[in-house]
Structures are given as structure tokens and as C-alpha cells.
Amino acid sequence: MQNPFKYGGIVSGPYFAGRTEEIKELQREMENTSRVFLVSPRRFGKTCLLHHLMETLTRGGTACAYIDLNAYPDLRTFAGALTSLTARALETNTDRLLKLFAGFQRLRPKVTIDPDGNLSAGLELAVGDKDALSALIEGMAHAESLAEKKGKKLVIIIDEFSDLEKYNGRTLEKALRAEIQKHSHIGYIFSGSEQSVMLSMIQDSKRAFYKLGRIMALGPIQRETYIKFILTWLKKGGYAVSAKEGIRIITIGEDVPYNVQRLCNTLWEAALESKTIDAALIEKLPLMIVRQDSPHYEMLWQTATAAQRLLLIALAQDPGALLFSKEFQMRHGIGPSSSIKASLDSLLKKGILYKTLEGRCLFVDRFMPYWLQGMRQPSIVSS
């Protein structure tokens, strides 16, 4: 039996844990072609949730298009991708698709061949045409028109939506709102894990997306549901385990789905032969993960300045502390505040730390503090 605890990629089918209520809620919203801003902390399984939702919607006859803004460096590529993905979601016949593509004014069809020799139709901005925004709006209008013509509902999911600002965001935001408001056959989900940026976009009355749709916050998976998921799989694998161990795993993982999946994956492998799970083994799991990821942490450490290293060690020892308080600075012998701010800004930009809505700074990788603390006890990391 393969290890059922997946992490680090898209998890679907029986390996997808919980989120039943969230799926139902989003499904109802999309059936009403609503607009939802899905705001989530990092590593809470947002992208897996969205793909699971698409599977559910597709089975019900709704067309879906998923766009991750991380994959598109500029508005030009985003415009081509959104237009081609929405068209392909509604029209699967390649010949008819190419005819549709040929009708665009600012986008031109392109045909690519995948490694298996299959043809795929796409779109790109015409050479010399710099008006990518107009091309994007043309593509969105076409999606609404095609959905109406096909008599189908279309759901467009734009993930990492906070990245929109890299495309000259404010001008784009206004144009997008004006177009989206015309659509009655398309439901939209705008999702992102940069919570403060997302909320600024949708709660600031001066911004274009203000009150365009509802805000849905993605929290931890309900513990009772998650424990049942964990115990069911472990028992299927022949492991001796109780609810007490399940609770401890989730507690160590701080209720973050990625962390819990990683811990369970490691536990499955560690007890593969003995099938015995006890408290001592569970407490060792973070250190096992640290040993696996040590080269990655070493690389991050080597790129950090002395001041950044001091701040990281202090945060590992004092998680969620108020960094600019005198108490924190005196306790860890760091400062002044200007130096802390410079280090913090850099660590946030590198993606090592992130800031909660309450203003506290936490590690994106919750296992990194174990590595930082283990540096002073080399046997823990290297054994």
C-alpha cells in the first residue's frame, strides 16, 4: 500500500482531507455565478481545495478555468492564457476552437505540440501589439459570450490574485471590475495567501474591487474531521494508533494542513516495518523532517546577513513575539528597531517569514525553527 499522506503538490481523490463544508459553500456560490475572494494563510491547502472544487463542479456540468498568476510574468502572457483556457473549458473541439481563436482582434492563435505529439491550440498577443489590457478584456468578454451561447456556466479561478499588482494593478483593477460586472454566466474565485495585500485590495473603498464580492476566509481543517482522516488511513495500513496520537500530530503541525500531511507522511515511513506508533516517535517527527530538509535550510542560512540570522534565531526561540518591543530586543540582544525592520523586510521578501493579519511574524516553513534551535545541538540535526 502506498503512502496516502501527500504533500507539496495537488492532492485529490481519497487523499484529499476534509473541507466538505468549504466545498459545498463555494459550490453554491459558483452555481449562482457569484464572486468570491478566498483568503488563506500559506500552506493551508488552498490550491488543493480549488482543484477539488473544480472536479466537483465539472462533474455537475460546469466549465472551469484555473489560472495561477505566478505562472504569468506579464499582462501579455496572462491575457493569452486566460482567453485560451476559458475558451478550451467551453469548447473541446480543436477545429472549432481554432475558428474561435481566429476571430480575435488582438490575440492570434498558436498551435503547440506536446512531447506525446498531441496538438494544442493557444493564444498569444499579436507581434507589435502592446495593448495587452484590451486583449485581456476582449478575451473576458468572449468568455461570457461563449458561455451564454453554449448555455453553460463558467467558473474562472484566479489563484495568487494578490500578484495582480505586478501588472500595473490599479489601472487593471478598474478595467477588470468594469468587465466582470457585465457577466451573468461566469462565477469568479479570486484566491490568495498574501492576506494583508488581498484584504487591502477588497476592503479599501478607494480600490476597484471594493465590495465586488464576498470574502471567504480559509481556516484550519476541523480537527475532528482531520483526526478521522488520519486514523482511517493509518489503520488501513495496519498501524496501531489512537485518537490521542492523532491530536498530538495536529498540535505539532499547528493545524496547518501542509505540516500535518508532512508529519503523517514521515510517520508512515518511520513506522512502516514495526507498525507501532507511540508518543516518543511522534515527538521525533519534526527532527526527521529537519534532517531531510537540512540542505535547503543551509542554503537559506548562507544567504542571510548576520543581523537576519540573529532575528531568525530569536523568532525560533520566541515565536509570534512583538519584534519591536523593548522586551523582545533586550531578551535576545538584538536591535535597534531600524536594524530589525531592515532584516524583517528582507526575510519577508525572501519568503522565509510572513506577517499575520494581527501583525505578528511567523516562519513560512514551520519546521525551520527546529533546525535553527538544533544548530546549537548538532547531534539533533545530523544524527
Cα(2)–Cα(5) distance, integer angstroms: 9
Q: Reply yes or no on whether the pLDDT at 248 is more than 60.
A: yes
The residue among 263, 257, 324 whose CA lies nearest residue 289 is 263
Q: Do residues 147 and 271 both lie within one domain?
A: no
DSSP state of 240: B
Domain edge (last residue) among 184, 217, 250: 217
299 class by beta-carbon count within 10 Å (0-12 exposed, 13-18 middle, 19+ buried):
exposed
Q: H or E segment at 280?
A: helix 279-302
State what percent of residues in the chain have pLDDT above 90.
Answer: 74
Q: Do residues 148 and 43 both lie within one domain?
A: yes
Cα(293)–Cα(54) distance, integer angstroms: 32
Is 129 domain-assigned? Answer: no
Mean pLDDT to the nearest integer, 343-369: 91
Tens-place pLDDT, residues 259-278: 999 999 999 999 999 999 99
Q: Do residues 213 and 226 both lie within one domain?
A: no
Tens-place pLDDT, residues 136-175: 999 999 999 999 999 999 999 999 999 998 887 788 999 9
Backbone angles phi, psi at 24, to 5 degrees: -60, -40
Q: Do residues 73 and 51 both lie within one domain?
A: yes
Question: What grid cell was written down for 29?
Answer: 456560490
Backbone angles phi, psi at 195, to 5 degrees: -60, -45
Look at residue 127 in the predicted model and tell me its pLDDT.
58
Higher pLDDT, 267 or 14: 267
Q: Do residues 27 and 3 both lie within one domain?
A: no
Cα(333)–Cα(353) distance, integer angstroms: 20
Q: Reply yes or no on whether the pLDDT at 122 is more than 80.
A: no
Q: Reply yes or no on whether the pLDDT at 342 is more than 80.
A: yes
Look at residue 383 in the predicted model and tell me its pLDDT.
43
Handedness of CA 223, 226, 231, 232 (dihedral sign): positive
* Amino acid at position 208, single letter: A
3-class SS string, 328-379? HHHHHCCCCHHHHHHHHHHHHHHCCEEECCCCCEEECCCCHHHHHHHCCCHH
Is 259 domain-assigned? Answer: yes
Q: Do residues 244 and 351 both lie within one domain?
A: no
Cα(14)–Cα(5) distance, integer angstroms: 10
CATH number of the domain that residue 146 is part of? 3.40.50.300
Q: Where residue 314 falls among pLDDT bands split at 50, 70, 90?
A: very high
Backbone angles phi, psi at 320, to 5 degrees: 75, 15
Mean pLDDT to the nearest integer, 323-348: 93
Range of the structural domain that residue 352 is part of: 294-383
CATH number of the domain that residue 340 is part of? 1.10.10.10
Q: Where residue 382 falls among pLDDT bands split at 50, 70, 90?
A: very low
Is 264 domain-assigned? Answer: yes
Is 130 domain-assigned? Answer: no
Backbone angles phi, psi at 318, to 5 degrees: -135, 65
Is 229 domain-assigned? Answer: yes
Cα(340)–Cα(242) distance, integer angstroms: 44
Is 285 domain-assigned? Answer: no
Q: Reply yes or no on whether the pLDDT at 126 is more than 70.
A: no
State what percent of residues in the chain have pLDDT above 70.
Answer: 95
Q: Do residues 203 and 234 both lie within one domain?
A: no
Mean pLDDT to the nearest integer, 100-125: 76
Q: Do residues 259 and 318 both lie within one domain?
A: no
The residue whose grid cell reads 489590457 is 133
Q: Where residue 327 falls among pLDDT bands split at 50, 70, 90?
A: very high
Q: Do residues 235 and 270 both lie within one domain?
A: yes
Look at residue 374 in the predicted model and tell me its pLDDT.
85
Q: Do residues 80 and 189 both lie within one domain?
A: yes
Q: Do residues 140 and 43 both lie within one domain?
A: yes
Is 128 domain-assigned? Answer: no
How high is the mean pLDDT of the chain? 91
Q: Reply yes or no on whether the pLDDT at 372 is more than 90.
A: yes
Tens-place pLDDT, residues 175-188: 999 999 999 999 99
Neighbours of 120 (CB within 10 A): 13
Q: Do residues 51 and 192 both lie within one domain?
A: yes
Mean pLDDT to the nearest integer, 181-196: 94
Cα(368)–Cα(262) distance, integer angstroms: 13
Higher pLDDT, 119 or 23: 23
Look at residue 12 in the predicted model and tell me its pLDDT.
84
Q: Where residue 376 falls among pLDDT bands split at 50, 70, 90?
A: low
The residue among 296, 286, 304 whose CA lies nearest residue 342 is 304
Neighbours of 251 (CB within 10 A): 12
* Amino acid at position 265, single letter: N
Tens-place pLDDT, residues 201-239: 999 999 999 999 999 999 899 999 999 999 999 999 999
Q: Where residue 356 falls among pLDDT bands split at 50, 70, 90?
A: confident
Question: Distances from the Cα of 144 to the Cαs of 33, 105, 150, 164, 345, in angstroms?
Answer: 11, 17, 10, 21, 41
Domain edge (last residue) among 217, 245, 260: 217
Is 14 domain-assigned? Answer: no
Domain count for the chain: 3
Q: Where residue 105 falls among pLDDT bands split at 50, 70, 90?
A: confident
Mean pLDDT to the nearest integer, 277-283: 96
Question: What grid cell was written down for 334?
Answer: 538584538
DSSP state of 321: -
